[in-house]
Amino acid sequence: MAARKRRELFTILETSADTETNTVSDSEECPLNLSVDVKWFEIPFRKPDSDSEEEELQENEGETEFKSTAAADETADSASYIAGGGCNIILVTGNGIKHEEYAEEYAEESYYSTSNNCSETTSTDSDMDFSDLEEEEHSGFFSSDDLLDEDCTSPDFWGEPDQVISIEPFTAVSGPQHSLGDDADTLDYFRLLFPDSLFEHIVEQTNNYALYRQRRSGRSDAHWHPTDLREMRAYIGLNVLMGINQLPDYGMYWASDIFIGNAGFKKTMTARRFEKLNQNLHLCDRESEPTRGELGYDGLYKIRPLLDVVENTMWDSYAPNRCLTIDECSIASKGRFSPTQYMPSKPLRKGLKVWMLCDSRSGYCHRTRIYVGKPGEEAALGVARKAVTALVRGLEAKHHHIFMDSFFTSVTLLQRLLRDGLYACGPTQPARRGYPDTLKPRNVGKLAPGEFYQCQHGNLVATVTRDAKVVSCLSTNSAPGIVGISPSRQRDGDSDGDSGGGVGACGMGLGVPRPLPLLLYQENMRGVDLCDQLRECYQVGRPCKKWWRYFLWFYVNLCIVNAYVILRETRTGAPPAGFNGKQFTLRHFRVRLAQQLIGDYQGARGMERAARKRHADSPLEYGHRLERMSERSRRCRNCTNKGLRHESVFGCKICNVHLCRGGCFSEFHK
């Protein structure tokens, strides 16, 4: 470390290879929620034995600084991280710098008062709730910062990292909460999250909106007739299949080219009918929609019925597990929606922002919170605190472990989560209120790979370390002084790099030592990313200019992913009855769900062909007759089939085709 004019506030503890071997935990109750291939060991904090030892430390301050600098340089050497070499562990204290050799054996001392392992036998799914950003918060949950018992900006707030961490065990019920039997199929699991009542509501509002458009335009639509439940299911099923069999334009699914057109789509409904359903699809009553500025205005009014239904179904179908992830996801959109965000760290840099609460292992989404804009002059940290408040509501005193990124993590937020029985961990910005000044970059200086400093206040531990870059993090579920080394895959030419690990014949080596908060974050922060991967593999719906359509297809796709996770966890990986394959992936789940949604439904064109086949012998006996179809002439279907072009205002209403008044009627029905 660089020399400092003021009193040093850090302690360097060094462990030899023998000490490391003795301290590696081989017990069954590992206090870490880490992979089995992570090598971890515990470094107890050691205070000065006497006052004379502390005085001697102050007298030899200059010499100690030189020793600490040499120890930091040794940390960068890769041989110091593997067996046969020492491992430099840096812990922050309230005393001066002290460099001691811990070669002697010491009694194992755990910083946990209870076990801190995330049970692998616990089910790995969870539930989802949807909250609006403008929703009022509970009065007793996350009150103002003035109600804190202690001021996190006080100089005496942070102390030495030698306090006992108290973590209560997770005993809440978790896993699927349904009564489906072993004979349940994909559609049954999808109905848990997207019930038939929601389909019926969409049918009702779609028919109402079609009439609303006709009244507003002053003319009727001759090509529209009311839809029903079976047709709406088939429409959703076709949209699901479009995500698997992707084409540039949805009209290509009905193309006459045998190499492009899809026979199943043509059999289900016509291209014109599909287009009409696209035009009139709706979720709310447009006539009673309040305008901006009126009492009761809701920015998400167009999808509010969907959110209200899915909020309950998602939460009731699956109880959250112990380790949860909070992060943001982006939805690519081409519509006109003012809260569209630019997120450079996401694969989709520009789109609609949705905050999600997901399971850290399976990716099951518990809750989402749509970003609709920052109200007034509210700071970004206030928006983040409100988002976390809405996402974790209902989990109080259940001792869940929440992992979130630097946008959310702050000292005040973690204190309030801890007060409500929730533990948290995540990186943070050093400039935020309450973060210890001793761990800020200007006081820490340049760190070697694997070097870290820590401060502690009860369960709250602040850490600064260098991995690929300098990282500052806060945690309430991590004991100080615990370091882990996970294997890292390296390229052939990187064996002499700064990664700090040896490389074997297979290109595997030991990575840079990481403190426990960073290890927990890296192991459990993948929940939202995993959910995005499952959702983005097969998109549902087509691009359009209406912003609310993107949220509709987003939640339909999310329900499919969650239903797949519930089926997989309920059946322990076994496929549903009737499936002949050995593996049942998400693709198989989507195809089977779409087939069951469509069922045996046939639209006008399918019924037309079936009617022609059944009544070919005597069309007049079954009500087929030549009559006037419309005022506007259209091409004769029979002549078109023969390659001719003739138009007529007459035709058959049962077959819904125009025919010439000559012999085309009887010839067509044969």
Residues 276/278/279/281 CA torsion (nearest 10 deg) = 110
pLDDT mean over 149-168? 84
Give the residue with greater pLDDT, 287 vs 495.
Answer: 287
Contacts of 453 (CB under 8 A, 6+ apart): 10, 90, 91, 92, 438, 439, 444, 463, 464, 465
> Does position 231 have pLDDT exceeding 90, yes or no?
yes
> Does position 243 have pLDDT exceeding 90, yes or no?
yes
Q: 38: pLDDT confidence band, cut at 50, 70 and 90?
A: low
pLDDT mean over 340-369? 81
Token pair recorded at residue 478: 């991590």
- Strand runs (DSSP E) across 115-169, as ranges? 130-132
pLDDT mean over 270-294? 92
The predicted pLDDT at position 377 comes to 40
Give the residue with greater pLDDT, 438 vs 339.
Answer: 438
> Does position 68 have pLDDT exceeding 70, yes or no?
no
The predicted pLDDT at position 37 comes to 55
The predicted pLDDT at position 343 comes to 62
pLDDT mean over 34-45? 56
Q: For residues 550 and 332, give the distance between their C-alpha atoms in angstroms, rounded to a whole number.
A: 8
Block residue for tokens 């459990």: 524
> Does position 487 have pLDDT exceeding 90, yes or no?
no
The predicted pLDDT at position 604 comes to 60
pLDDT mean over 611-626? 54
Q: Are 281 and 268 a contacting pair, CB within 8 Å?
A: no
Tell me what percent of the residues of the chain surpass a pLDDT of 90.
42
Contacts of 120 (CB under 8 A, 6+ apart): none
Contacts of 151 (CB under 8 A, 6+ apart): 157
The predicted pLDDT at position 17 comes to 32
547-570 helix and 527-536 helix, angle to the nearest 10 degrees = 110
Interstrand relation of 460-466 and 470-475 (parallel, antiparallel or unpaired): antiparallel
Considering only 91-100, 182-191, 192-201, 309-318, which range has the smallest mean pLDDT?
Answer: 91-100
Considering only 111-115, 318-322, 371-375, 601-605, which range has the smallest mean pLDDT?
Answer: 111-115
Q: Are 99 and 75 a contacting pair, CB within 8 Å?
A: no
The predicted-structure confidence for 591-604, as pLDDT tens digits, reads as follows: 999 999 999 898 76
Q: Are 234 and 606 a contacting pair, CB within 8 Å?
A: no
Where along the chain do its domains lie?
178-317+538-616, 625-668
Considering only 153-157, 325-329, 396-400, which range has the smallest mean pLDDT?
Answer: 153-157
Dihedral sign from CA coordinates of 25, 428, 135, 348: negative
Radius of gyration, CA atoms only, the chain: 32
> Does position 519 have pLDDT exceeding 50, yes or no?
yes
pLDDT mean over 296-319? 91
Q: 344: pLDDT confidence band, cut at 50, 70 and 90?
A: low
- The amino acid that residue 431 corresponds to is A
Q: 628: pLDDT confidence band, cut at 50, 70 and 90?
A: confident
> Does position 349 have pLDDT exceeding 50, yes or no?
yes
Nearest residue to 25 (alpha-carbon basis) of 113, 110, 101: 110
Tell me what percent of the residues of the chain surpass a pLDDT of 70.
67
The predicted pLDDT at position 553 comes to 95
Block residue for tokens 């990716």: 363
Token pair recorded at residue 239: 């949209």
The predicted pLDDT at position 470 comes to 92
Nearest residue to 13 (alpha-carbon basis) of 94, 111, 86: 86
The predicted pLDDT at position 503 comes to 40
Cα atoms in the Cβ-side hemisphere of radius 13 Å centred on 183:
0
Q: How many CB atoms lie within 10 A of CB 478?
A: 31
Considering only 69-83, 632-646, 655-669, which range has the smallest mean pLDDT?
Answer: 69-83
Global pTM? 0.73
The predicted-structure confidence for 104-113, as pLDDT tens digits, reads as follows: 333 333 344 4
> Does position 275 have pLDDT exceeding 70, yes or no?
yes
pLDDT mean over 179-191? 93
The predicted pLDDT at position 605 comes to 58
| Most confident listed range (352-361, 374-383, 620-629) | 352-361
Give the residue with greater pLDDT, 320 vs 85.
Answer: 320
